[in-house]
Amino acid sequence: MSQDKILTCRDCGQEFVFSAGEQDFYAEKGFENEPSRCPACRHARKQTSGRGGNRPQREMYPAVCANCGVETQVPFQPSGEKPVYCRDCFQSMRRY
């Protein structure tokens, strides 16, 4: 059975608890390394690196679906050389 550990955050230098439950979770997921940042610094890093709830909005471009003709938006600039599909048509085509 795991026991709580006291670790030091590499960003802010504060000590934080790496709980027994967190250790079990890390082991279950196959994570080999202990966290090197406290929860607050991990959260701040996710926010600034785009890996969190406040991701920068992706630029979208207007297009017309080559399959059903609906106006849609896609995350790339259509070149006109290849067909562009709306989300529904693209998903239905991926199933096959």
DSSP string, 21-86: HHHHHHHHHT--SPPSS-HHHHHHHHHHHT-STTPPPPP-EEEE-TTT--EEEESS---SSS----
| Tens digit of pLDDT at every position of the chain (96 positions) | 679 999 999 999 999 999 999 999 999 999 999 999 999 999 888 877 655 555 667 889 999 999 999 999 998 999 989 999 998 999 888 765
pLDDT at 1: 65
What pTM value is reported for the model? 0.50
pLDDT at 65: 94
